Amino acid sequence: MPAPFHLAIPVDDVQKARIFYRDTLELTEGRSSDHWVDFDFFGHQLVIHYKPKSAQDDVHHNSVDGKEVPIPHFGVVLPWDDFHQFAEKLKQKNIEFVIEPYIRFEGLPGEQATLFFYDPCGNALEFKSFKDISQLFAK
């Protein structure tokens, strides 16, 4: 198993973000204070840290496979069946997708299932999966 990564992201409302990551995404909460919270993000450490919103927090988009992908974004690569179960759970929780679950690069190297949505503080998340994980870095 690869080494777990650590990712700290800014949130302008710790409690709202805590509820989203804990209850909506069903991540296990770890240590916390009034201005940060750790979560088990599919075996990795995700920490939400309080940061006031500013004008520089605008989201940019790049076109990928005909879709407008929010930049910056983060997420994880899930096993194929886990991805589809997770996507279904998000739909049942009425997540508003930026990019609905679909197959990107269909029939090409790097074919993958992907989806995008925002957390309540404006952070873009992408979850993806490969039927064949050897395609993760395929050209």
List pLDDT tens digits, range 66-89: 999 999 999 999 999 999 999 999
- As a whole number of angstroms, the distance between CA 59 and CA 97 comes to 15
Q: What is the DSSP string of 6-42?
A: EEEEEES-HHHHHHIIIIIS-PEEEEE-SSEEEEEET
- Whether residue 139 is predicted with pLDDT greater than 70 in this model: the reply is yes
Residue 1 lies in a domain: no
Same domain for 71 and 121? yes
Domains in the chain: how many in total?
Answer: 2
Q: Three-state SS for 137?
A: coil
Per-residue pLDDT tens over the stretch 40-76: 999 999 999 999 988 666 778 999 999 999 999 999 9
Specify whether 23 is located in the same domain as 78.
no
Q: What are phi and psi of 46, to 5 degrees?
A: -110, 130
Whether residue 97 lies inside any domain: the answer is yes
Q: Strand 124-129 to strand 73-77: parallel, antiparallel, or no bridges (unpaired)?
A: parallel
pLDDT for 1 beyond 70 = no
Residues 70 and 127 in one domain: yes
Tens-place pLDDT, residues 103-131: 999 999 999 999 999 999 999 999 999 99
In a domain, 55, yes or no: no
**Mean pLDDT estimate for the chain:** 94
Q: Do 124 and 80 share a domain, yes or no?
A: yes
SS3 state at 56: helix
User: What range does the domain containing 106 cover?
Assistant: 63-135
CATH number, position 101: 3.10.180.10
d(CA 22, CA 120): 13
